[in-house]
Structures are given as structure tokens and as C-alpha cells.
Amino acid sequence: MRGPLSVLSVPPAHSSHCMETTPLSVHSSEKAPADDVSQTETATQTNASLTFCEFGFNKPTFVHRRTRIRLTTSEINTAIHSLLQHAYHLCSRACQIVGFHRNCLHQQPPPPLKMAQSDLDQLLDMGFEKARAELAVKKTGNLNGALEWLEANQDKPLAELTAAASTAAKDDEDDDAGEVQANIDALESGATAKSLVCNECGKRFRSQDTASYHATKTDHTDFSESTEEIAPLTDDQKKAKLAELREQLKEKKAKQAVLDKEEARRNEKIRMKATKETQEAKEELQRKEQLKEVARKRQEKQDDLEAKRRIKAKIEADKEERRRKAEETKAAREGRAPESGPVAAPSIPKATANHNEARLRLQTSGGNIMKTLPSETTLFEVAQMLQSENGLEVTSFSTTFPRKTFEGHMDLSKTLKEAGLTPSAVLIVK
């Protein structure tokens, strides 16, 4: 187990500003060979004495507390260095207290031990070639960048990399020299920027405001200063320029008026189209309502006819029953048996042809149109069908034999069956 090393005594400084110490004694728990021990102690004492004398001390003195250990040369050097640092700070503090200046010491403190390796040393320890490592460090300036550069250029020959580095360095020097020379020429000539030039379109501007307006209007961003001065306009040129600007403004207003007029025309067309569509929707709704009304009236008419038929049949049956009873009463009063006339068969309604469809040939100005429609279809529905399919405005229908004309709301509300147009008919469309 090792114990701390300590300085036995540091006496006050003499007029020569040096301090005396006690000789060094190093003990070991194991006896080493006499030659090795003597050589180690002698070298250590010599190095320590030289180091201490450089700072004004006579002899170094160290002692170990009771514990005898074996110290190597490197360990002794490290301990001596630490003690030298500590002694330097103590001496500086003592000199300040007694009024001495730091210059009483002949030299600055020894520099600290350099422990960290440089980037180049680390790359060499990793196994990279020295030439490639030097190029990488020169190119990037740090360890991580050098590693990336070496990985990216590991397949390229060293000669190519060296030539590229030389060319790049020469170009940089030429560019720097050219820039410096240009700055020198500008300073010597005393040239100042008198105008601005747009490098994208080549226009020149007198002031920063006009250049800014041009950049805002055209989105141009590449401008440069020029020593060429734009000549000021004369009175005639100003008048001509003003007239030109007024003419341009007039043309712009005229174009804008044309555009506004065209826009108003388009808006009017859109409005008229919307109005027309709305009107057509209203008319379509009215037509549907009319069709519903016609169908409702037709159904009511059929219901009325059916009710009338039932009432008429009941009246006929009542008359027949009263007549039969009167005959029986008369025969009983005369004392004779009632005549057994032929039993009146129940009246069977005359079978009528039941036509559910009507075949129509519609004669129009554009030709004949054949249609097969249900017999319950009204003439109004036929007119609407011709208008939607063929674009015909129908006002009336007429037949040649028998000669008959259907027009008006009452006639057009009739079904094909009610108008006698079943099972087939020829209609002239007007």
C-alpha cells in the first residue's frame, strides 16, 4: 500500500531568492539489486536536482511515511512534476505577500504534460497511411471529417488525390490574388457605384428604389453595381418620357375596360342561364302538377261513371222485381196460376272489346311518328311527349274519319280510350 509523498521543510527565502531542502530518501519493502537501486536513485536525484535548481532551489527532499515501497522512474517523475507545480504556486504566493514581484523567479512554470494525441496521430494509430492522413486532416480539419474523407476516397490513388489537392490550392490562391488585385484597383481608381444593373434582363437603374420596384415586379434577384453613370434626362426627354408613360397608362386602362366588359358579359350569360334553368324547373314542376291534376280528374270521372252504372242496375232490378210481384198478385186475384213465362236470364252486359293499348300514327310536318301507348294515356300526355322528344309545340289533334278535332283543356284531358282512338288511329298534329 502506497502512502502520500510530502515535502519535509521549505525554509524562508534568502537574499538570492532560493530555498534549501533536505536530501531525498526513497525506501523499498523489497531489496532490489544494489546496482539497479543505486542507478535509479542517482538518476532520480540528478533529474530532481536539475529541475529544482532551475527554479532556484538547492536540493530536492522527499520522504515516504514509514511505508517502504518500490517506485519506478516514471512514477517518481510524475510525482516530482506535481510537487514542482505546487511549489511554484506557493513561491508565487509568498513573493506577493512579502512584496516581491513574480519576476523574481527566473523562469515560467514547466508546461503541463501533453496527454492528448493530435488528429493525425490518431489516424496513424488506426493504421492509415501518413500521406493520406495528412491530406484528410488538411481537407477537413477534424477527426470525424477526416474519417469520412478517407472512406469516400479510399479507392482513389494517392497521386490523384495529391494532384487534386495541389490544383485546388493553386486555384484558391489565384482567386484570392484576383480578388485582392480587383479591390486594390478599385481603391486606387477611386471608382464608386453610380448605377445598378439587373443581370437577368440587363436593365440599368439610377437608384435603389427603382431597382427594388423592378425586383418586386419581375421577381428578379440578381443585381450588380456599375460605375457607368446614367445620363440625366433633358427637358425634352422628360416630356417625351411623360407622354410615353401617359400613353401606356391609357392603353392599360383601355385593355382593362375591355376585360371588364368581357367579364360582365360572361357574368350576364351565367345569370341568364341560371334564370333560364330556374324557369325551366318551374315549368317542369307545373307540367307535373297538371298531369297529376288530369289523372285525378280522370279517376274521379271513372268513379262517377261506375257509381252511375251501379245505381242504374239497381233501379232496373227494382223495376223487374215490382213487375213480377204485380203479375203474381193479378194471377192470384183472377184465380189462375201465374203464367210461367220464360225465366228471364240475368242481364249480361254486352261484352265490349277491352283494348289496353292504342297504336297511333302521328302525322307531323317532319314526317310520320308511330307510337304504341296505354289506352289510359291522355292527349295532353301525348302532346308533352312530342314536345320533349321532337321539340314540337302541339296545339290540337284531329282525325280524318270521322272528322274530329281535339283542342283545349277539356279535350286534351281525355284518354285515348275515351276519345275513341283505340285500338288504332291516325292523328294529325297541329
Please give the residue that has the higher pLDDT: either 353 or 305.
305
* Poorest-pLDDT segment among 16-30, 221-235, 385-399: 16-30
How confident is the model over 322-350, as pLDDT tens digits? 998 998 888 888 877 666 554 444 444 44
Q: Identify the residue with better confidence: 120 or 344.
A: 120
| Residue 57 three-state SS | strand
Domain ranges in the chain? 5-104, 195-226, 234-327, 357-429
Higher pLDDT, 46 or 327: 327
Residue 186 contacts residue 198 (beta carbons within 8 Å): no
Q: Is the pLDDT of residue 292 over 80?
A: yes
For range 154-170, the mean pLDDT? 79
Extract the C-alpha cell encoding 425.
Answer: 288511329
pTM of the model: 0.25
**11 confidence band (pLDDT: 50, 70, 90):** very low
**Does the N-terminal peptide bond of residue 11 adopt cis geometry, omega within 30 degrees of 0?**
no
| Domain 357-429 indexed as CATH 3.10.20.90 | yes
Query: β-pairing, 396-400 with 204-205?
Result: unpaired
- Percentage of the chain lying above the pLDDT 70 cut: 66
Percent of all residues in the chain with a pLDDT value above 90, rounded to a whole number: 6
What Cα–Cα distance (Å) separates residue 163 from each residue in 153, 158, 168, 347?
Answer: 14, 9, 9, 129
Residue type, 130: K
Closest by CA position to 104, among listed 112, 113, 92: 92
The mean pLDDT value for 401-408 works out to 84
Spatial distance between the Cα atoms of 394 and 369, rounded to a whole number of angstroms: 14
Cell numbers 542507478: residue: 39
Lowest model confidence (mean pLDDT) among 56-60, 66-70, 213-217: 56-60
Q: Is residue 64 predicted with pLDDT exceeding 50?
A: no
Is the predicted pLDDT of residue 172 greater than 80, yes or no? no
**pLDDT score recorded for residue 78:** 77
Q: Compute the average pLDDT of residues 280-293.
A: 87
Helix, strand, coil content of the chain in percent (nearest 5): 55, 10, 35
Q: Confirm if 56 and 106 have CB atoms less than 8 A apart.
A: yes
* φ and ψ of 337, to 5 deg: -75, 145
Which of 30, 23, 16, 113 minimizes the C-alpha distance to 59? 23
Q: Provide the phi-psi class of 229: left if phi over 0, else alpha when psi is between -120 and 50, else beta.
A: beta
Query: How do strand 424-429 and strand 396-400 relate by DSSP bridges?
Result: antiparallel
Using only C-alpha atoms, the chain has a radius of gyration, in whole angstroms, of: 64
- In sequence order, what E strands does 20-173 have? 63-64
Grid-cell match 457607368, residue found: 228
